[in-house]
Amino acid sequence: MDSMTRKRTLGGALGLLALILFAPFLASCGSPWASTAPRNSDTPPPPSGRGALTWTVMVFLNAANDLDDYSELNLNQMEQAQTNPNVRVVVQWKRAARFAPENSWTGTRRYLVQYDTDTQRINSRLLEDLGQGVDMGSAETLREFVRWARATYPADRYALVIWNHGSGWRSRAAIRGRAVSFDDELGTSIKIWELPTAIRPTSADPMMDVLLFDASLMQMLEVAYECRNIARYIVGSEESPPGEGYPYHEILKPIMENSDIPPAQWASAIPNIFVNWYHASYPFYRNITQSAVDASRLENVAAALDGLAGSLIQKRSLYATSLGRARQDAQNYSTYPEYRDLWHVASLIKQYTGDSELAQRVDALHAALQQAVIANNRDVRRDSRVFHSYGLSIYYPDSGGYLGRYSNTALARATRWDEWLQVAP
Protein backbone atom coordinates (compact mmCIF):
# COMPACT_ATOMS: atom_id res chain seq x y z
CA MET A 1 0.00 0.00 0.00
CA ASP A 2 1.11 3.57 -0.60
CA SER A 3 1.83 5.61 2.51
CA MET A 4 -0.64 8.38 1.68
CA THR A 5 -1.99 10.79 4.30
CA ARG A 6 -5.58 10.06 5.23
CA LYS A 7 -7.78 12.99 6.16
CA ARG A 8 -9.54 12.57 9.48
CA THR A 9 -13.32 12.80 9.36
CA LEU A 10 -13.87 14.10 12.88
CA GLY A 11 -12.91 17.56 13.99
CA GLY A 12 -11.05 18.49 17.12
CA ALA A 13 -14.17 19.48 19.04
CA LEU A 14 -15.88 16.21 18.37
CA GLY A 15 -12.73 14.36 19.36
CA LEU A 16 -12.66 16.27 22.67
CA LEU A 17 -16.31 15.44 23.29
CA ALA A 18 -15.62 11.76 22.67
CA LEU A 19 -12.71 11.89 25.13
CA ILE A 20 -14.95 13.39 27.82
CA LEU A 21 -17.71 10.85 27.23
CA PHE A 22 -15.36 7.90 27.37
CA ALA A 23 -13.10 9.14 30.18
CA PRO A 24 -14.32 6.51 32.68
CA PHE A 25 -13.52 3.74 30.22
CA LEU A 26 -10.11 5.17 29.38
CA ALA A 27 -9.20 5.43 33.05
CA SER A 28 -9.93 1.78 33.66
CA CYS A 29 -8.81 0.30 30.37
CA GLY A 30 -5.48 1.96 29.58
CA SER A 31 -4.61 2.85 26.02
CA PRO A 32 -7.51 3.89 23.80
CA TRP A 33 -5.85 1.99 20.96
CA ALA A 34 -6.03 -1.45 22.55
CA SER A 35 -8.78 -1.78 25.10
CA THR A 36 -9.65 -5.20 26.48
CA ALA A 37 -12.67 -3.93 28.40
CA PRO A 38 -16.25 -5.07 27.71
CA ARG A 39 -18.00 -3.24 24.92
CA ASN A 40 -19.72 0.01 25.63
CA SER A 41 -23.15 -0.81 27.01
CA ASP A 42 -24.65 1.53 24.41
CA THR A 43 -23.42 -0.74 21.62
CA PRO A 44 -26.26 -2.99 20.43
CA PRO A 45 -25.64 -6.72 20.17
CA PRO A 46 -24.33 -7.76 16.76
CA PRO A 47 -26.80 -9.03 14.21
CA SER A 48 -26.48 -12.73 13.53
CA GLY A 49 -25.51 -13.88 10.05
CA ARG A 50 -26.68 -17.04 8.34
CA GLY A 51 -24.78 -20.24 7.60
CA ALA A 52 -23.56 -23.40 9.29
CA LEU A 53 -19.95 -23.54 8.08
CA THR A 54 -17.21 -21.87 10.11
CA TRP A 55 -14.43 -19.58 8.96
CA THR A 56 -11.23 -18.42 10.58
CA VAL A 57 -9.88 -15.28 8.95
CA MET A 58 -6.26 -14.60 9.94
CA VAL A 59 -4.90 -11.07 9.56
CA PHE A 60 -1.11 -10.72 9.70
CA LEU A 61 -1.06 -7.00 10.39
CA ASN A 62 2.48 -5.67 10.28
CA ALA A 63 2.19 -1.97 11.14
CA ALA A 64 5.86 -1.57 12.08
CA ASN A 65 6.24 0.97 9.29
CA ASP A 66 4.71 4.16 7.91
CA LEU A 67 1.32 2.48 7.45
CA ASP A 68 0.70 2.35 11.20
CA ASP A 69 -2.00 5.01 11.18
CA TYR A 70 -4.18 2.89 8.90
CA SER A 71 -4.00 -0.11 11.23
CA GLU A 72 -6.46 1.48 13.64
CA LEU A 73 -8.81 2.36 10.80
CA ASN A 74 -8.78 -1.21 9.51
CA LEU A 75 -9.21 -2.83 12.95
CA ASN A 76 -12.22 -0.64 13.61
CA GLN A 77 -13.67 -1.67 10.25
CA MET A 78 -13.21 -5.34 11.17
CA GLU A 79 -15.08 -4.73 14.43
CA GLN A 80 -17.98 -3.19 12.54
CA ALA A 81 -18.14 -6.26 10.32
CA GLN A 82 -17.92 -8.94 13.03
CA THR A 83 -21.59 -9.99 12.98
CA ASN A 84 -21.55 -13.77 12.50
CA PRO A 85 -20.49 -16.11 15.34
CA ASN A 86 -19.40 -18.71 12.77
CA VAL A 87 -16.73 -16.35 11.45
CA ARG A 88 -13.75 -15.61 13.69
CA VAL A 89 -11.29 -12.89 12.71
CA VAL A 90 -7.96 -13.13 14.53
CA VAL A 91 -5.26 -10.51 14.17
CA GLN A 92 -1.56 -10.48 14.93
CA TRP A 93 -0.73 -6.77 15.10
CA LYS A 94 2.68 -5.18 15.51
CA ARG A 95 3.31 -1.52 16.32
CA ALA A 96 6.72 0.13 16.68
CA ALA A 97 7.50 3.24 18.73
CA ARG A 98 8.97 4.96 15.70
CA PHE A 99 5.61 4.87 13.89
CA ALA A 100 2.86 4.43 16.50
CA PRO A 101 0.98 7.38 18.04
CA GLU A 102 2.37 8.88 21.22
CA ASN A 103 1.27 6.97 24.34
CA SER A 104 0.12 3.99 22.27
CA TRP A 105 1.15 0.48 23.13
CA THR A 106 4.02 -0.99 21.12
CA GLY A 107 5.16 -4.53 20.46
CA THR A 108 3.07 -7.36 19.02
CA ARG A 109 -0.37 -8.50 20.15
CA ARG A 110 -3.01 -11.01 19.15
CA TYR A 111 -6.67 -10.07 19.11
CA LEU A 112 -9.97 -11.80 18.54
CA VAL A 113 -12.10 -9.26 16.73
CA GLN A 114 -15.37 -8.46 18.49
CA TYR A 115 -18.35 -6.53 17.22
CA ASP A 116 -18.28 -2.84 18.02
CA THR A 117 -19.63 0.32 16.42
CA ASP A 118 -17.22 2.76 18.06
CA THR A 119 -14.97 3.91 15.22
CA GLN A 120 -12.55 5.71 17.54
CA ARG A 121 -11.42 2.86 19.80
CA ILE A 122 -10.30 -0.74 19.43
CA ASN A 123 -12.49 -2.83 21.72
CA SER A 124 -11.61 -6.33 20.53
CA ARG A 125 -10.49 -9.02 22.91
CA LEU A 126 -6.76 -9.06 23.66
CA LEU A 127 -5.72 -12.71 23.53
CA GLU A 128 -1.98 -12.47 23.95
CA ASP A 129 0.75 -9.87 24.30
CA LEU A 130 3.86 -11.21 22.58
CA GLY A 131 5.97 -8.28 23.77
CA GLN A 132 8.83 -6.54 21.99
CA GLY A 133 11.19 -7.84 19.35
CA VAL A 134 8.80 -10.00 17.31
CA ASP A 135 9.98 -10.01 13.70
CA MET A 136 6.94 -9.56 11.46
CA GLY A 137 9.25 -9.60 8.45
CA SER A 138 10.08 -13.24 9.18
CA ALA A 139 8.51 -16.22 7.45
CA GLU A 140 8.85 -18.17 10.69
CA THR A 141 6.72 -15.58 12.51
CA LEU A 142 4.01 -15.89 9.85
CA ARG A 143 4.23 -19.70 10.02
CA GLU A 144 3.83 -19.67 13.80
CA PHE A 145 0.84 -17.32 13.60
CA VAL A 146 -0.91 -19.51 11.02
CA ARG A 147 -0.29 -22.65 13.10
CA TRP A 148 -1.55 -20.95 16.26
CA ALA A 149 -4.69 -19.64 14.56
CA ARG A 150 -5.57 -23.03 13.10
CA ALA A 151 -5.00 -24.80 16.39
CA THR A 152 -6.83 -22.22 18.50
CA TYR A 153 -9.71 -21.55 16.11
CA PRO A 154 -10.18 -24.64 13.92
CA ALA A 155 -12.71 -24.06 11.15
CA ASP A 156 -14.21 -25.49 7.99
CA ARG A 157 -12.60 -22.75 5.92
CA TYR A 158 -9.57 -20.51 6.29
CA ALA A 159 -8.51 -17.17 4.89
CA LEU A 160 -5.29 -15.23 5.40
CA VAL A 161 -4.74 -11.51 4.90
CA ILE A 162 -1.17 -10.22 4.64
CA TRP A 163 -1.34 -6.51 5.54
CA ASN A 164 1.65 -4.31 4.81
CA HIS A 165 3.77 -2.91 2.01
CA GLY A 166 4.42 -5.16 -0.95
CA SER A 167 6.64 -5.03 -4.01
CA GLY A 168 5.63 -8.00 -6.13
CA TRP A 169 8.45 -10.40 -6.86
CA ARG A 170 11.06 -7.73 -6.06
CA SER A 171 12.02 -5.92 -2.87
CA ARG A 172 11.91 -2.19 -2.30
CA ALA A 173 15.69 -2.49 -2.11
CA ALA A 174 16.70 -4.15 -5.35
CA ILE A 175 19.52 -6.16 -3.78
CA ARG A 176 17.23 -7.93 -1.31
CA GLY A 177 15.04 -9.93 -3.67
CA ARG A 178 11.28 -10.23 -3.81
CA ALA A 179 9.26 -9.48 -0.70
CA VAL A 180 6.19 -8.52 1.31
CA SER A 181 5.53 -7.64 4.98
CA PHE A 182 8.35 -5.17 5.61
CA ASP A 183 9.19 -4.78 9.30
CA ASP A 184 10.94 -1.42 9.31
CA GLU A 185 11.79 -1.67 12.99
CA LEU A 186 14.06 -4.63 12.27
CA GLY A 187 14.78 -4.08 8.57
CA THR A 188 13.34 -7.43 7.49
CA SER A 189 10.76 -8.72 5.00
CA ILE A 190 9.22 -12.00 3.86
CA LYS A 191 10.40 -13.15 0.44
CA ILE A 192 7.72 -14.56 -1.84
CA TRP A 193 9.56 -17.86 -2.14
CA GLU A 194 9.15 -18.20 1.64
CA LEU A 195 5.36 -17.88 1.54
CA PRO A 196 4.59 -21.53 0.64
CA THR A 197 6.41 -23.04 3.62
CA ALA A 198 5.19 -20.28 5.92
CA ILE A 199 1.52 -20.68 5.06
CA ARG A 200 1.36 -24.40 4.30
CA PRO A 201 4.51 -26.09 5.63
CA THR A 202 3.45 -29.62 4.65
CA SER A 203 0.92 -31.19 2.30
CA ALA A 204 -0.95 -32.40 5.40
CA ASP A 205 -1.71 -28.79 6.35
CA PRO A 206 -4.96 -27.42 4.92
CA MET A 207 -4.82 -24.98 2.05
CA MET A 208 -6.02 -21.46 2.57
CA ASP A 209 -9.37 -21.10 0.91
CA VAL A 210 -8.63 -17.45 0.19
CA LEU A 211 -5.29 -15.62 0.37
CA LEU A 212 -5.60 -11.83 0.31
CA PHE A 213 -2.74 -9.38 -0.15
CA ASP A 214 -3.62 -6.03 1.42
CA ALA A 215 -0.34 -4.75 0.00
CA SER A 216 1.02 -3.15 -3.14
CA LEU A 217 1.76 -4.80 -6.47
CA MET A 218 1.26 -8.40 -5.31
CA GLN A 219 -1.21 -9.56 -7.97
CA MET A 220 1.55 -10.71 -10.29
CA LEU A 221 1.76 -14.02 -12.07
CA GLU A 222 5.12 -14.62 -10.34
CA VAL A 223 3.59 -14.22 -6.88
CA ALA A 224 0.41 -16.16 -7.65
CA TYR A 225 2.37 -19.01 -9.21
CA GLU A 226 4.59 -19.20 -6.14
CA CYS A 227 1.43 -19.54 -4.00
CA ARG A 228 -0.51 -21.86 -6.29
CA ASN A 229 -0.30 -24.85 -3.93
CA ILE A 230 -1.09 -23.04 -0.69
CA ALA A 231 -4.33 -21.21 -1.50
CA ARG A 232 -7.34 -21.95 -3.66
CA TYR A 233 -8.04 -18.33 -4.51
CA ILE A 234 -5.70 -15.34 -4.44
CA VAL A 235 -6.95 -11.75 -4.21
CA GLY A 236 -4.88 -8.60 -4.60
CA SER A 237 -3.95 -5.54 -6.62
CA GLU A 238 -1.73 -5.15 -9.67
CA GLU A 239 -1.15 -1.52 -8.66
CA SER A 240 -0.28 0.09 -5.33
CA PRO A 241 -3.58 0.65 -3.49
CA PRO A 242 -3.97 3.69 -1.24
CA GLY A 243 -2.85 3.57 2.38
CA GLU A 244 -6.43 3.01 3.54
CA GLY A 245 -6.16 -0.50 2.12
CA TYR A 246 -9.11 -2.84 2.22
CA PRO A 247 -12.45 -1.52 3.49
CA TYR A 248 -12.79 -4.49 5.85
CA HIS A 249 -16.33 -3.63 6.92
CA GLU A 250 -17.30 -4.13 3.28
CA ILE A 251 -15.12 -7.00 2.07
CA LEU A 252 -15.95 -9.17 5.11
CA LYS A 253 -19.67 -8.58 4.69
CA PRO A 254 -20.35 -11.49 2.29
CA ILE A 255 -19.01 -14.16 4.66
CA MET A 256 -20.57 -12.46 7.67
CA GLU A 257 -23.98 -12.43 6.00
CA ASN A 258 -23.70 -16.11 5.05
CA SER A 259 -20.80 -18.24 6.21
CA ASP A 260 -21.83 -20.96 3.75
CA ILE A 261 -20.75 -18.79 0.83
CA PRO A 262 -18.34 -20.71 -1.42
CA PRO A 263 -14.78 -19.34 -1.26
CA ALA A 264 -14.80 -18.63 -5.00
CA GLN A 265 -17.94 -16.53 -4.63
CA TRP A 266 -16.47 -14.47 -1.81
CA ALA A 267 -13.15 -13.99 -3.61
CA SER A 268 -15.00 -12.98 -6.78
CA ALA A 269 -17.05 -10.38 -4.91
CA ILE A 270 -14.06 -8.53 -3.46
CA PRO A 271 -12.80 -6.74 -6.62
CA ASN A 272 -16.14 -5.03 -7.23
CA ILE A 273 -16.58 -4.20 -3.54
CA PHE A 274 -13.08 -2.74 -3.37
CA VAL A 275 -13.22 -0.62 -6.51
CA ASN A 276 -16.78 0.61 -5.92
CA TRP A 277 -16.00 1.60 -2.33
CA TYR A 278 -13.01 3.66 -3.41
CA HIS A 279 -14.97 5.36 -6.16
CA ALA A 280 -17.62 6.35 -3.63
CA SER A 281 -15.32 7.20 -0.70
CA TYR A 282 -12.16 8.52 -2.39
CA PRO A 283 -13.15 9.43 -5.97
CA PHE A 284 -9.88 11.32 -6.53
CA TYR A 285 -7.84 8.09 -6.60
CA ARG A 286 -7.26 7.01 -10.20
CA ASN A 287 -5.14 3.91 -9.59
CA ILE A 288 -7.57 1.40 -8.06
CA THR A 289 -7.26 -2.23 -9.22
CA GLN A 290 -8.29 -5.55 -7.73
CA SER A 291 -8.65 -9.10 -9.03
CA ALA A 292 -9.27 -12.64 -7.86
CA VAL A 293 -7.44 -15.65 -9.28
CA ASP A 294 -8.24 -19.36 -9.24
CA ALA A 295 -4.88 -20.85 -8.30
CA SER A 296 -5.75 -24.25 -9.78
CA ARG A 297 -5.70 -22.65 -13.25
CA LEU A 298 -2.24 -21.16 -13.01
CA GLU A 299 -0.41 -24.18 -14.41
CA ASN A 300 -2.31 -23.66 -17.66
CA VAL A 301 -1.33 -20.00 -17.70
CA ALA A 302 2.31 -20.93 -17.18
CA ALA A 303 2.16 -23.49 -20.00
CA ALA A 304 0.67 -20.93 -22.39
CA LEU A 305 3.25 -18.34 -21.33
CA ASP A 306 6.02 -20.84 -21.99
CA GLY A 307 4.70 -21.40 -25.51
CA LEU A 308 4.58 -17.68 -26.20
CA ALA A 309 8.08 -17.19 -24.82
CA GLY A 310 9.44 -19.94 -27.06
CA SER A 311 7.97 -18.33 -30.17
CA LEU A 312 9.17 -14.88 -29.14
CA ILE A 313 12.73 -16.16 -28.76
CA GLN A 314 12.63 -17.62 -32.26
CA LYS A 315 11.13 -14.52 -33.89
CA ARG A 316 12.83 -11.76 -31.92
CA SER A 317 15.02 -10.56 -34.80
CA LEU A 318 12.04 -10.32 -37.17
CA TYR A 319 10.01 -7.96 -35.00
CA ALA A 320 12.55 -6.16 -32.82
CA THR A 321 10.94 -2.74 -33.17
CA SER A 322 7.37 -3.98 -32.79
CA LEU A 323 8.18 -6.08 -29.75
CA GLY A 324 9.99 -3.22 -28.05
CA ARG A 325 7.06 -0.91 -28.72
CA ALA A 326 4.56 -3.45 -27.36
CA ARG A 327 6.49 -3.60 -24.12
CA GLN A 328 6.74 0.18 -23.79
CA ASP A 329 3.07 0.79 -24.58
CA ALA A 330 1.74 -1.83 -22.19
CA GLN A 331 0.03 -0.92 -18.94
CA ASN A 332 2.60 -0.61 -16.16
CA TYR A 333 2.53 0.18 -12.47
CA SER A 334 3.66 2.65 -9.85
CA THR A 335 7.38 2.89 -9.15
CA TYR A 336 7.95 -0.47 -10.87
CA PRO A 337 7.42 0.29 -14.58
CA GLU A 338 8.86 -3.12 -15.45
CA TYR A 339 5.66 -4.65 -14.00
CA ARG A 340 3.25 -4.79 -16.94
CA ASP A 341 -0.24 -6.17 -17.33
CA LEU A 342 0.14 -9.60 -18.90
CA TRP A 343 -3.06 -9.59 -20.93
CA HIS A 344 -2.39 -6.13 -22.32
CA VAL A 345 1.23 -6.66 -23.33
CA ALA A 346 0.30 -9.95 -25.03
CA SER A 347 -2.49 -8.17 -26.94
CA LEU A 348 -0.03 -5.54 -28.16
CA ILE A 349 2.46 -8.20 -29.26
CA LYS A 350 -0.26 -9.75 -31.37
CA GLN A 351 -1.41 -6.39 -32.73
CA TYR A 352 1.98 -4.85 -33.49
CA THR A 353 3.65 -7.90 -35.07
CA GLY A 354 0.72 -9.24 -37.07
CA ASP A 355 2.41 -12.65 -36.93
CA SER A 356 0.02 -15.61 -37.17
CA GLU A 357 2.06 -17.93 -34.93
CA LEU A 358 2.43 -15.27 -32.25
CA ALA A 359 -1.29 -14.54 -32.57
CA GLN A 360 -2.08 -18.19 -31.83
CA ARG A 361 0.24 -18.14 -28.83
CA VAL A 362 -1.36 -14.96 -27.51
CA ASP A 363 -4.86 -16.37 -28.00
CA ALA A 364 -3.88 -19.47 -26.02
CA LEU A 365 -2.49 -17.30 -23.22
CA HIS A 366 -5.63 -15.15 -23.20
CA ALA A 367 -7.82 -18.26 -22.97
CA ALA A 368 -5.82 -19.51 -20.00
CA LEU A 369 -6.01 -16.11 -18.31
CA GLN A 370 -9.77 -15.98 -18.82
CA GLN A 371 -10.05 -19.21 -16.86
CA ALA A 372 -7.64 -18.17 -14.12
CA VAL A 373 -8.82 -14.60 -13.45
CA ILE A 374 -12.29 -15.19 -12.04
CA ALA A 375 -12.98 -11.52 -11.23
CA ASN A 376 -11.34 -8.23 -12.08
CA ASN A 377 -12.17 -4.57 -11.66
CA ARG A 378 -10.24 -1.33 -12.01
CA ASP A 379 -10.75 2.37 -12.52
CA VAL A 380 -12.03 2.81 -16.08
CA ARG A 381 -12.80 6.53 -15.93
CA ARG A 382 -11.38 8.75 -18.66
CA ASP A 383 -8.40 9.86 -16.59
CA SER A 384 -7.68 6.43 -15.11
CA ARG A 385 -4.05 5.45 -14.70
CA VAL A 386 -4.85 1.73 -14.74
CA PHE A 387 -7.39 1.30 -17.52
CA HIS A 388 -5.64 -1.66 -19.16
CA SER A 389 -5.39 -3.77 -16.00
CA TYR A 390 -6.89 -7.20 -16.56
CA GLY A 391 -5.99 -9.12 -13.43
CA LEU A 392 -2.35 -10.25 -13.46
CA SER A 393 0.86 -8.38 -14.10
CA ILE A 394 4.24 -9.83 -15.05
CA TYR A 395 7.89 -8.80 -14.91
CA TYR A 396 8.88 -7.42 -18.33
CA PRO A 397 11.87 -5.05 -18.03
CA ASP A 398 13.42 -2.94 -20.74
CA SER A 399 16.01 -4.56 -22.96
CA GLY A 400 19.16 -5.09 -20.94
CA GLY A 401 17.37 -4.54 -17.62
CA TYR A 402 16.90 -8.18 -16.67
CA LEU A 403 17.75 -9.02 -13.05
CA GLY A 404 19.50 -12.37 -12.76
CA ARG A 405 17.84 -13.35 -9.50
CA TYR A 406 14.52 -13.54 -11.35
CA SER A 407 15.63 -16.99 -12.49
CA ASN A 408 15.03 -18.21 -8.94
CA THR A 409 11.28 -17.64 -9.13
CA ALA A 410 9.07 -20.70 -9.55
CA LEU A 411 7.63 -19.21 -12.74
CA ALA A 412 11.08 -18.80 -14.27
CA ARG A 413 11.95 -22.38 -13.41
CA ALA A 414 8.72 -23.63 -15.01
CA THR A 415 8.78 -21.54 -18.21
CA ARG A 416 11.07 -19.93 -20.76
CA TRP A 417 9.85 -16.46 -19.86
CA ASP A 418 13.15 -15.65 -18.13
CA GLU A 419 15.06 -16.83 -21.20
CA TRP A 420 12.98 -14.50 -23.35
CA LEU A 421 13.63 -11.56 -21.02
CA GLN A 422 17.37 -12.04 -21.35
CA VAL A 423 17.31 -11.70 -25.16
CA ALA A 424 14.24 -9.49 -25.69
CA PRO A 425 14.94 -6.47 -27.93
Q: What is the pLDDT of residues 327-379, one digit of tens each?
A: 999 999 987 899 999 999 999 999 999 999 999 999 999 999 999 999 999 99
Region 31-296: CATH code: 3.40.50
How far are the Cα atoms of 69, 141, 187, 260, 311 from residue 135, in angstroms, in the given order? 19, 7, 9, 35, 45
Give the residue from 107, 132, 117, 142 showing the smallest Cα distance to 34: 107
Q: For residue 384, is pLDDT > 80?
A: yes
**Residue 178 pLDDT level (bands cut at 50, 70, 90):** low
For 103-179, strand residue ranges (E) read 107-112, 125-131, 157-163
The tens digit of pLDDT for each residue in 98-126 reads 988 888 999 999 999 999 999 999 999 99
The tens digit of pLDDT for each residue in 235-257 reads 999 999 899 999 999 999 999 99
The tens digit of pLDDT for each residue in 256-310 reads 999 999 999 999 999 999 999 999 999 999 999 999 999 999 999 999 999 999 9
In this prediction, residue 46 carries a pLDDT of 74
In this prediction, residue 25 carries a pLDDT of 39
In this prediction, residue 165 carries a pLDDT of 80
This prediction has a pTM of 0.88
Q: Where in the chain is the domain with CATH 3.40.50?
A: 31-296
Q: For residue 6, is pLDDT > 50?
A: no
Cβ of 9: how many Cβ atoms within 10 Å?
A: 7
**Residue 44 pLDDT level (bands cut at 50, 70, 90):** low
**Residue 19 pLDDT level (bands cut at 50, 70, 90):** very low
**Residue 41 pLDDT level (bands cut at 50, 70, 90):** very low
In this prediction, residue 184 carries a pLDDT of 87
The tens digit of pLDDT for each residue in 192-230 reads 899 999 999 998 999 999 999 999 899 999 999 999 999
